[in-house]
């Protein structure tokens, strides 16, 4: 399957950041894709001191209170209470060490991402508290064939809202 070309690259949130990291590390990889679909992505997660402190406080609390940190994060994914309640009942995505490594791996892709000419669909929620919709504007510099769809009433999980 992975040898088939062309592929459609898809990433949501941190998954979109991982896709961007792969494209930044190996620009020739872009030739394997026909399109990209990025949902609630960012090129620079800790773009303000307040957001950087949010990540730092999560890193400090995660080893001691992983369930509480995860529940607080999941509550911010959506403004819909019943959906947030369902998300909070999901099991953890993996061990604390993996979640910590993910947070520590957040980086700024603006300077390292080469210009991409792939047709790219960027989907974002207008009420996203994790990655504000303003982050979508930063993609036009690196993505030359970009289409942005903003779902005004959705949060960080627009595909569920």
Q: What is the pLDDT of residues 69-112, one digit of tens each?
A: 889 989 999 988 999 999 989 888 777 777 777 777 667 777 77
Q: How far is CA 29 from the centre of its chain?
A: 20
**Rounded mean pLDDT of the chain?**
86
Residue 124: band (very low, low, confident or very high) from pLDDT cuts 50, 70, 90: very high
The pLDDT score that the predictor gives to residue 38 is: 96
Task: Say if pTM beats, i.e. exceeds, 0.95.
Answer: no
The pLDDT score that the predictor gives to residue 1 is: 52
Q: What is the DSSP letter of 71?
A: H
- Which residue reads 């970009």 in tokens? 146
């Amino acid at each position: 399957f992975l040898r088939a070309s062309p592929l459609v690259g898809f990433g949501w949130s941190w998954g979109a950041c991982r896709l961007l990291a792969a494209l930044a590390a190996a620009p020739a990889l872009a030739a394997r894709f026909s399109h990209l679909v990025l949902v609630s992505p960012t090129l620079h997660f800790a773009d303000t001191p307040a957001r950087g402190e949010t990540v730092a406080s999560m890193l400090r609390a995660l080893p001691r209170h992983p369930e509480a940190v995860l529940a607080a994060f999941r509550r911010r994914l959506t403004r819909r209470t019943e959906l947030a309640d369902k998300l909070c009942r999901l099991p953890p995505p993996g061990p604390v060490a993996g979640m910590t490594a993910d947070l520590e791996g957040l980086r700024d892709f603006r300077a390292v991402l080469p210009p991409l000419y792939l047709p790219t669909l960027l989907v974002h929620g207008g009420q996203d508290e994790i990655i504000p919709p303003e982050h979508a504007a930063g993609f036009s510099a690196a993505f030359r064939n970009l289409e942005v769809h903003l779902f005004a009433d959705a949060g960080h999980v627009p595909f569920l809202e």
